[in-house]
């Protein structure tokens, strides 16, 4: 299997293990939901979709995206039941499509998650700077707020993962409570024209400004839900907890987003798209003023900042674990695969990720970029396209993996063939819509944005070619690509249904 121990790798007694069984099912759900940043989605992405994306069909678009991601999650969950790794998409792809494709996926998702942290922290800097100015009379440039936030993320991630989970859990609970209060108050009040059942009429897609933009924003709202698998190595009973957490996270976020988008439509009735275009980031703040108590808006001013922080922090942890996984496999410098002796956190990888994000923020700041228009818009386009491509390939990996190990029942065929095929087609369709609307998303014919598909392709090809080079020049390192590092998990997995049919489930990859 190519497994390399600490002594074999020359690391001696250096710690390379994460803190096993340290987090539970609830912690996973909290962290993946924090990555979705409910208040950020409500205050920013839903109004933009109403104004320039799915229009009156925004709630329907979120409902449709929920269905697509639930279908994708079926195959994803089947893989998570059998493979537990901090590498998640990277490891799944290596096991299902072979090592070269696995490393290609690993490079793409690492680049995406690394840049998502930088992109989201741009919003944190923008709103944090405004908050300091309005409520405390302090004039602090957005980039210093962003950089301070990234340093704080590294400090927190240096300690045990349970510390991270508690912080994200508290921030998330406050976010969800505030958004629900505003949404419920708006719906129960009937807004300006009463309830809006036409918001769920597919015919509204035909009148939408740009359906592709609506789906882009919806998928962007979910990016990071594979956090469930990333924390598998640190989870109690990962074979049960990870799949269950994935389904619950996707479904609860979907219901939440759909309801909040519907509340936004009820707020101004037929005039909602026009009002959203005028108010944009103030849309739900105005609804809060109109339908709740006065202090809610002030509370939202603070929580939108904490929401951006929680979201950026969650992706900081995601990217850190991908750096850690690739470092542990020896694909990237092995120092990245080290963990803290006491806390068992991937502290080296976390430091590298924080440095990369700080550098990205500095480059945008020096170039005079706007933190929302450029940093928090252009980078998410790249990240979303990259993650959609990865999810498309993971669907194929599920099919390839179970083609090799075999299927027994009709349910097996539905979960590991039919569902991944539907998921792959859906991911491909959304990728097409995204690429077809690049200029619109960028706010103009911007060459650096038009070349985003090329950037993603170059990264994917680089990973694939690097794997081929390793295969010929360093077979031992090549053998570690997508490896499984838990001795218990390295044994051949024999599921009860396979035992009964005489089929054994192995994990060897070409």
Per-residue model confidence as pLDDT tens digits over 199-243: 999 999 988 888 888 888 888 888 777 667 777 666 667 777 788
The answer on pLDDT for 88 being more than 60 is: yes
pLDDT of residue 506: 44
380 close to 119: Cβ distance less than 8 angstroms: yes
25-184+197-501: CATH, from 3.30.70.270, 3.30.565.10, 1.20.1740.10, 3.20.20.120? 1.20.1740.10
Query: Stretch 10-31: mean pLDDT, rounded?
Result: 63
pLDDT of residue 35: 67
If phi over 0 gives left and psi between -120 and 50 gives alpha, with beta otherwise, what is residue 223? beta
Question: Domain locations in the chain?
Answer: 25-184+197-501
Counting Cα atoms < 13 Å in the Cβ hemisphere of 477 gives: 17
pLDDT of residue 8: 41
Least confident of 80-84, 99-103, 199-203: 80-84
Q: What confidence tens digit (pLDDT) does each residue in 119-139 have?
A: 989 989 998 999 999 889 999
- 291: tokens are 């339908």
Least confident of 80-84, 93-97, 235-239, 357-361: 235-239
The answer on pLDDT for 450 being more than 80 is: yes
The answer on pLDDT for 89 being more than 80 is: yes
**Lookup result for tokens 């990865």:** 390
Q: What confidence tens digit (pLDDT) does each residue in 379-405 have?
A: 888 988 998 999 999 999 999 999 988
pLDDT of residue 426: 87
pLDDT of residue 164: 64
**If you write DSSP's letter for every residue of 197-261 in order, what string do you get?**
GGGG-GGGGGGSS-HHHHHHHHHHHHTTTTHHHHTGGGBSSHHHHHHHHHHHHHHHHHHHHHHHH
Least confident of 285-289, 330-334, 408-412: 408-412
0.85 exceeded by pTM: no
384 close to 426: Cβ distance less than 8 angstroms: no
With cut-offs at 50, 70 and 90, classify the pLDDT of residue 447. Answer: confident
């Amino acid at each position: 299997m190519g497994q390399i121990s600490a002594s074999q790798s020359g690391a001696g007694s250096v710690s390379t293990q994460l803190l096993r069984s340290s987090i539970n099912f609830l912690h996973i759900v909290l962290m993946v939901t924090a990555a979705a940043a409910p208040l950020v989605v409500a205050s920013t992405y839903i109004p933009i979709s109403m104004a320039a994306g799915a229009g009156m069909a925004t709630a329907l678009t979120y409902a449709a995206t929920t269905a697509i991601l639930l279908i994708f999650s079926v195959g994803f969950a089947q893989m998570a039941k059998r493979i537990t790794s901090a590498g998640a998409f990277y490891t799944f792809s290596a096991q299902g499509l072979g090592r070269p494709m696995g490393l290609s996926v690993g490079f793409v998702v690492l680049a995406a998650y690394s840049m998502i942290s930088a992109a989201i922290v741009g919003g944190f800097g923008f709103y944090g700077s405004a908050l300091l100015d309005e409520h405390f009379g302090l004039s602090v440039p957005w980039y210093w707020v962003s950089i301070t936030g990234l340093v704080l993320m590294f400090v927190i991630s240096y300690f045990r993962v349970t510390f991270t989970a508690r912080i994200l859990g508290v921030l998330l609970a406050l976010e969800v409570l505030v958004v629900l209060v505003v949404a419920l108050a708006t719906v129960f009040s009937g807004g300006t024209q009463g309830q809006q059942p036409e918001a769920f009429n597919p015919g509204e897609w035909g009148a939408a400004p740009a359906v592709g933009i609506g789906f882009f924003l919806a998928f962007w709202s979910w990016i990071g839900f594979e956090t469930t698998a990333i924390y598998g190595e640190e989870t109690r009973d990962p074979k049960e907890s990870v799949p269950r957490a994935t389904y619950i996270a996707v479904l609860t976020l979907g219901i939440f987003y759909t309801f909040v988008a519907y509340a936004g439509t009820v707020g101004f009735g037929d005039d909602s798209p026009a009002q959203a275009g005028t108010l944009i980031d103030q849309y739900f703040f105005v609804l809060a003023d109109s339908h709740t108590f006065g202090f809610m808006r002030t509370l939202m001013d603070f929580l939108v900042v904490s929401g951006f922080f929680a979201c950026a922090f969650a992706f900081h942890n995601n990217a850190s674990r991908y750096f850690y996984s690739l470092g542990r496999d020896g694909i990237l410098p092995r120092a990245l695969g080290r963990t803290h002796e006491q806390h068992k956190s991937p502290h080296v990888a976390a430091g590298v990720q924080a440095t990369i994000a700080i550098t990205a923020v500095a480059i945008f700041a020096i170039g005079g970029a706007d933190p929302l228009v450029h940093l928090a818009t252009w980078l998410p386009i790249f990240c979303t396209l990259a993650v959609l491509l990865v999810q498309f390939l993971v669907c194929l990996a599920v099919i390839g993996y179970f083609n090799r190990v075999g299927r027994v029942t009709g349910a097996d065929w539905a979960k590991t063939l039919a569902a991944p095929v539907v998921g792959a087609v859906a991911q491909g369709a959304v990728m097409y819509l995204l690429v077809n609307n690049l200029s619109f998303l960028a706010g103009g014919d911007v060459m650096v944005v038009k070349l985003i598909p090329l950037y993603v392709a170059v990264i994917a090809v680089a990973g694939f070619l690097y794997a081929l080079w390793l295969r010929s020049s360093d077979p031992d390192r090549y053998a570690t690509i997508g490896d499984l590092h838990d001795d218990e998990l390295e044994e051949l997995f024999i599921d009860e249904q396979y035992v009964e049919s005489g089929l054994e489930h192995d994990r060897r990859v070409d």
